Amino acid sequence: MPIVDRFVAGAMCAVAASLFAECAAAESKSGSEDLFMQMHRVLVHPRCLNCHPKGDSPRQGDEARLHLPRMTRGAQDQGPAGMHCDTCHQRANFAASGVPGAPNWHLAPRSMAWEDKTPGEICRQMLDPRRNGNKSLAQIVEHLTRDELVAWAWDPGLDVTGKARQPAPIPKAEFNRIVHAWEKSGAACPK
Ligand code: HEC
Ligand code: HEC
């Protein structure tokens, strides 16, 4: 909600909080949505989005170019038979060749595609066990804060031209703090 509206709502809540519990609940819901919007800055950064595309191909670089060499997700999101992602992507970044790496490097399944989705759509599908790999909220929080593919986005290594890839915005420790605060505040999704 716009700043002014929030200020007015906040002031009204301050007056009425002791009388109307729902006022406090509404305030914490909008706080929770704000926390998700801070997380969203990271989710749609190319370091995350390049592995969460809507199509069949991973993407590369800050411009999200189609992957070169041309690559498809294959049946298991691990690349086509005979050309699995881990043929090239090792367990760690390889500075000499510019190939990024982390354990179990592969593409997020189609149900977890974030490209061209609104913050609310991304949030709801991330919390939907039918689309998020059957994860509970606690498991999603665990994944966001501890998973190695997620963590790679803060240590993305050098690209093929020898230039350092831009890491995800917001330091990792701060991102983890925001994710935990979002969970605690009820894990609300924006509209
Ligand atoms: C190298 C590719 C890769 C990168 C980079 C990557 N992911 Fe993913 N992501 C995956 C894969 C694969 C899965 C599916 C894992 C599973 O189901 O166990 C996934 C699943 C997820 C999920 C599970 C729920 C869902 O619906 O999406 C979240 C949350 C997530 N990633 C967050 C992130 C964030 C945040 C970043 C960037 C900071 C990121 N990922 C970067 C490959 C990647
Ligand atoms: C034949 C080797 C090869 C295969 C197989 C391969 N990749 Fe890559 N990949 C590369 C190279 C090389 C780069 C670095 C490109 C650059 O820095 O411009 C790269 C970069 C990427 C990036 C870019 C990271 C970023 O944010 O810039 C992603 C994402 C990616 N690959 C995902 C995958 C996935 C998922 C698979 C399997 C479906 C896969 N790759 C299969 C060679 C490969």
Asked if residue 190 is part of any domain, the answer here is no
Asked if residue 78 is part of any domain, the answer here is yes
Distance from residue 169's CA to the centre of ligand 2 (Å): 21
Lowest mean pLDDT among 25-34, 111-120, 161-170: 25-34
User: Containing domain of residue 42, as a range?
Assistant: 3-184
Is 80 exceeded by the pLDDT of residue 130? yes
CA distances from 140 to 35, 67, 100, 136 (A): 15, 27, 24, 6
Asked if residue 9 is part of any domain, the answer here is yes
Identity at 91, one-letter amino acid code: R
Nearest CA to ligand 2 atom 43: 88
Phi and psi (nearest 5°) for 150? Answer: -65, -45
Asked if residue 7 is part of any domain, the answer here is yes
Asked if residue 41 is part of any domain, the answer here is yes
Asked if residue 75 is part of any domain, the answer here is yes
**Closest among 24, 61, 47 to 186, alpha carbons compared:** 24
Asked if residue 191 is part of any domain, the answer here is no
Task: Give pLDDT, residue 25.
Answer: 78
With a CB cutoff of 8 Å and minimum separation 6, the contacts of 172 are 151, 154
Per-residue pLDDT tens for 54-110? 999 999 999 999 999 999 999 999 999 999 999 999 999 999 999 999 999 999 999
Per-residue pLDDT tens for 142-185? 999 999 999 999 999 999 999 999 999 999 999 999 999 999 99
For residues 119 and 127, give the distance between their C-alpha atoms in angstroms, rounded to a whole number.
Answer: 12
Distance from residue 79's CA to the centre of ligand 2 (Å): 10
**Closest among 8, 45, 36 to 23, alpha carbons compared:** 8
Where does the pLDDT of residue 115 fall: very low under 50, low under 70, confident under 90, or very high at 90 and above? very high
Task: Give pLDDT, residue 69.
Answer: 95
Ligand 1 site residues (CB inside 6 A) read: 42-43, 47-48, 51-52, 105-108, 112, 125-126, 132-133, 140, 143-144, 149-150, 152-153, 168
- 8 Å CB contact between 125 and 134: no
Count of the separate structural domains present in the chain: 1
DSSP of 26-78 = HHHHHHHHHHHHHHHHHHTSHHHHTTS-SSSS-EETTTTEEPSS-----TTSS
Is the backbone of residue 124 left (phi > 0), alpha (psi -120 to 50) or beta? Answer: alpha
Asked if residue 10 is part of any domain, the answer here is yes
If you average pLDDT over residues 3-18, what whole number do you get? 58
For residues 27 and 155, give the distance between their C-alpha atoms in angstroms, rounded to a whole number.
Answer: 36
Nearest CA to ligand 1 atom 43: 51
For residues 46 and 167, give the distance between their C-alpha atoms in angstroms, rounded to a whole number.
Answer: 9
